[in-house]
Amino acid sequence: MGMLEGIQRKIRKRHYEFSKHAVDQSIIRDISVAELEEAISGRCEIIEDYPDDKYGPSCLILGFTKTGRPFHLQCSYPSRQLIKIITIYEPDPDLWVDFRVRKK
């Protein structure tokens, strides 16, 4: 099983927790838990990988809700018992190409 599938499986089973930062950001940005789960369970892809992140290996996932709202979700690798949601936000189209590649 690949990393993305492992993350999706744990999110579906609700085996995840939010960092304080992720909780704050989801409130500020009006992102519901249902939207997060929908974006990760649907069409999504890992767009950046941070194997040497200072807080532990993590990756950035691009996912979309059923209504097409894009989200970036940074989370820990699925090797942790609980996936740690580090941050979640709606990517700024001025900073990203197709929400996938950072503009230079």
Q: Please tell me the predicted confidence (pLDDT) of residue 25.
A: 93
CA 99 and chain centroid, separation: 13
- Domain holding 50, by residue range, is 3-102
Vertex 2: Cα angle to 13 and 99 (nearest 5): 85
Say what the pTM is: 0.94
Locate 90 and state its tokens: 């709606």
The amino acid sitting at 82 is L
The pLDDT, as a whole number, for residue 65 is 95
Number of compact structural domains in the chain: 1
pLDDT tens for the chain, residues 1 to 104: 799 999 999 999 999 999 999 999 999 999 999 999 999 998 899 999 999 998 899 999 999 999 999 999 999 999 989 999 999 999 999 999 999 999 98
- Identify the pLDDT of residue 43: 85
Give the pLDDT of residue 60: 98
